[in-house]
C-alpha cells in the first residue's frame, strides 16, 4: 500500500475517533444538563412547598390568633405547692389568684353555677386552663354567653370575691372588666384564650372554645 493510501486511512481513522469523541462529549453534556434541570426542579418544588407551609401557618395565625388589644396584666408567679383539701390559702397576690399553693386535684373544665374554691382552680391554671370567673349577680343572658366558652380547657364559675363583673384568669395572667349596660366583649375573651391557654407549667394541650 502506498504512503498516500496509508496516510488517508490514518486521517479517516483519526476523523472517526474525533467524531466519536465529540459525540460522547455531547452526550455527557446533555446528560449533565438533564441532571441539572432535574435538580433545579427538585429545589423549586421544595421552595414552593416551603412557601405554601409558611403561608398556611401565617394565614392560620391571622384567622385564629388574637385580633384585638391585650388588656391583661402579668402577675408575679408564686410557688405551686400542694396543700390539703379544705385548707384556706391567704397569700395569693391577685384577685382572683393566678398562681400559688393549691389543692392536689383540679376541677373538670366545664361550666359551674356554684362557686369552687380558689385553691382548687389554681391547679387548673397550672395545667394551662383558662378560668372565667363571673359575679354571682350577673344577668342570666350574660352568664349564658360565658357558658358558651366552657369546655376543652376552659372552666367558667361564679365567684363572690370578684371585684369586677368578669375576670379572665390564666397562669400568671389576669384581665378584669365590668360590663355595665353593654354586652360582653366576646372578642376580648377569645383573644385572652388564644394568647394564654396552655401556658401553665404543667400544661395539657387542649384547645378551648372560641365561640
- In order along its 211 residues, the chain shows pLDDT tens digits of 555 566 666 666 676 777 788 888 778 878 888 888 888 888 878 787 676 654 444 444 445 578 899 999 999 999 899 999 999 999 999 999 999 999 999 999 999 999 999 999 999 999 999 999 999 999 999 999 999 999 999 999 999 999 999 999 999 999 999 997 668 999 999 999 999 999 999 876 555 545 5
Spatial distance between the Cα atoms of 200 and 204, rounded to a whole number of angstroms:
8
Distance (Å, whole) CA 26 – CA 42: 24
pLDDT of 41 reads: 85
- Please name the helix (run of DSSP H) or strand (run of DSSP E) that holds residue 11, with its range, or none: helix 3-64
Total count of residues recorded for the chain: 211
Exposure string over 74-98, b if 16+ CB within 10 A, otherwise e = ebeebebeeeeeeeebeebebbbbb
**Cα–Cα dist 66/54, whole Å:** 19
Whether omega for the bond prior to residue 27 falls within 30 degrees of 0, making it cis, is no
CA distance 13 to 20: 11
Write down the pLDDT at residue 113.
96
- Gyration radius (Cα) of the chain, Å: 35
Give the pLDDT confidence score for residue 1 in this predicted structure: 54
Q: Is 151 helix (H, G, I), strand (E, B) or coil?
A: strand
Centroid of chain to Cα 101: 28
Tell me what pLDDT residue 131 has. 98
The x, y and z cell numbers of residue 43, run together, are 429545589
Amino acid at each position: 500500500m502506498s504512503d498516500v493510501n496509508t496516510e488517508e486511512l490514518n486521517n479517516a481513522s483519526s476523523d472517526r475517533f474525533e467524531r466519536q469523541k465529540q459525540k460522547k462529549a455531547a452526550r455527557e453534556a446533555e446528560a449533565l444538563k438533564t441532571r441539572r434541570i432535574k435538580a433545579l426542579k427538585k429545589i423549586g418544588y421544595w421552595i414552593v412547598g416551603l412557601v405554601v407551609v409558611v403561608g398556611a401557618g401565617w394565614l392560620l395565625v391571622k384567622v385564629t390568633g388574637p385580633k384585638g388589644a391585650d388588656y391583661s396584666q402579668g402577675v408575679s408567679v408564686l410557688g405551686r405547692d400542694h396543700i390539703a383539701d379544705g385548707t384556706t390559702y391567704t397569700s395569693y397576690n391577685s384577685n382572683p389568684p393566678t398562681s400559688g399553693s393549691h389543692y392536689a386535684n383540679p376541677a373538670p373544665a366545664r361550666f359551674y353555677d356554684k362557686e369552687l374554691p380558689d385553691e382548687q382552680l389554681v391547679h387548673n391554671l397550672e395545667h394551662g386552663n383558662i378560668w372565667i370567673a363571673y359575679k354571682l349577680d350577673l344577668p342570666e343572658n350574660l352568664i349564658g354567653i360565658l357558658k358558651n366558652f366552657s369546655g376543652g380547657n376552659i372552666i367558667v364559675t361564679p365567684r363572690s370575691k370578684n371585684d369586677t363583673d368578669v375576670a379572665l384568669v390564666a397562669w400568671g395572667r389576669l384581665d378584669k372588666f365590668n360590663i355595665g349596660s353593654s354586652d360582653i366583649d366576646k372578642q376580648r375573651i377569645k383573644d385572652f384564650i388564644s394568647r394564654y391557654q396552655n401556658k401553665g407549667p404543667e400544661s395539657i394541650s387542649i384547645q378551648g372554645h372560641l365561640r
